[in-house]
Chains A and B, each alone.
Chain A
Amino acid sequence: MRRGREMFVVEFFKGILNGRGVFPSFLVISSWSFTLLLLVLILYNFLLYMFRVRYRNKRFTNGLVKKNKK
């Protein structure tokens, strides 16, 4: 069953990328993968936000303009 699903993904990509060339295929796969990765990251960060876990990262806060609190 699982193998069948994997084959479906392969067949799907073969279908849409057929004849498109290496470069566009690379851009399709990389952009979709990166989107998926970002979604996971957002979900993970949202969970941490719900549990009020503080984010400490100097790279992130360095140069960041603080919001004006009225």
Chain B
Amino acid sequence: MERISIHQLFSLMFIFEVGSTTLFAIGIGAKEGAWIAILLGVLAGILIIYIFTYLQKAYPSKNFFEIITSILGKKLGFILAFLYVWQTIWSNSRNLREFSEMILMTSLPETPLIVIVSTFMLMSIFVLIKGVEVLARVSEIILPVLIFFLVVVFVLLYLSDVTDFNNLLPILGEGLFSLFETIPTVAMFPFGELYIFATYFQLVNKKEEIRKTGIKVVVISGVLLCITVVFDIAVLGVKYASISTIPFLEAIRLIRVKEIIANLDAIATMIIFFGGFFKMTIYMYGNVLMISSIVKSISRRVLIIIYGVFLVFFSLGFEPDYAYHHWMSTFDTNFYGVYFTHVIPILIFFLFLIKRKRSEFK
């Protein structure tokens, strides 16, 4: 059976959280209070880690699908697993399409979209056929590189004299309503998306350390996202940061230290590439694990290939363009994303507690 170490789980979760989300101005709906929205989103992330690790601790030998069916029964559990599979397919396709479009916009404007999507997918299929351990080991190598890039960007932005921290004032100038309105979006993207790791927990060798690692990831990535959004606002201002497609890239383009260090767009492209690849591949493998526990007759390798090919065509066909993609983002997170990542897990958790209490009656 495939196994990943606790450090590898940390690397995978961290890249999944930070790799891609740093590019966007998360929580910008709360205007100058975006960083507060992220900090509150961290609490939602901790809650989701607590719930999933609690259920995994209660059923240490079972995978996510088996845990659901144990609590809800076979029929309801199967329906919910089926819904989770479709929700993940949707998120996975959006992810694949989003990063392919970004590569197209930033580096390869003349290349057909299908070529970029297929290249991404071929790499993911190759890595996953080699096994999840390979993906985990690669994440251990990439993680320090990614953090180094981010820290370098922060330092250079500060040295470039383009930051004006007065842009962050007035804090909560739009009132508390805009802050609370933004929290469900931040809770789901990026912190709620960690639900996919519920399918990975069974592969971890030290299960007792999963919760600690998960919470560590949520807190550290939350702080890093906070710093990113602070720099986005300080450099671009709230208005431009909120309408820009990739605010972090726009900020990086303004780096100019003594006319020597400039044109660092390649760093943003690398972050897009690493972040996109890992997020998409982690989603993909998590969903394949879920499908393979429902459909046991198909081998995992075959399932990876079928799923990958399906995802390429689905991601190209389900959205007409990037404007539609952008328009759907808030709808996706607020109208059903947050149900799959927070509401349903919390309800399952309560149902589990009541049922366990009832099973202890003499």
Contact = CB atoms under 8 A, between A and B. Distances in A.
Contact of A60 (B70, B80, B83, B87): B70
A32 to B, nearest CB: 7
Given A34-B80, A42-B354, A46-B354, A27 B86 contact: yes
Does more than half of chain A's interface fall in helix, strand or loop, or is it mixed? helix
Contact of A38 (B86, B331, B332, B347): B347
B257 interface: no
Given A16-B335, A35-B339, A39-B347, A65 B70 contact: no
Interface string B60-82: 11100010011111101001100
Contact of A35 (B60, B343, B350): B343
Contact of B358 (A39, A49, A63): A49
Interface string A33-58: 01101110110011011001111110
A59 B69 contact: yes
Given A23-B318, A53-B358, A59 B70 contact: yes
Contact of A31 (B60, B340, B354): B340
B355 A63 contact: no
Nearest to A21: B318
Contact of A24 (B80, B90, B356, B361): B90
Contacts of A46: 354
Interface residues of B, number: 42
A35 B74 contact: no
A46 B358 CA distance: 9
A21 B314 CA distance: 13
A45 B86 CA distance: 28
B332 to A, nearest CB: 7
A32 B340 CA distance: 10
A38 B90 CA distance: 23
A16 B46 CA distance: 30
B171 interface: no
A67 B54 CA distance: 12
B258 interface: no
Interface of B: 57-62, 66, 69-74, 76, 79-80, 83, 86-87, 90, 318, 328, 331-332, 335-336, 339-340, 343-344, 347-348, 350-351, 354-359, 361-362
> 9 tightest A-B contacts by CB?
A55-B358, A31-B339, A38-B347, A54-B361, A31-B336, A27-B336, A55-B359, A45-B354, A28-B336
Given A27-B86, A38-B344, 8 more contacts: A24-B336, A34-B344, A35-B339, A48-B358, A52-B361, A53-B361, A61-B359, A64-B59
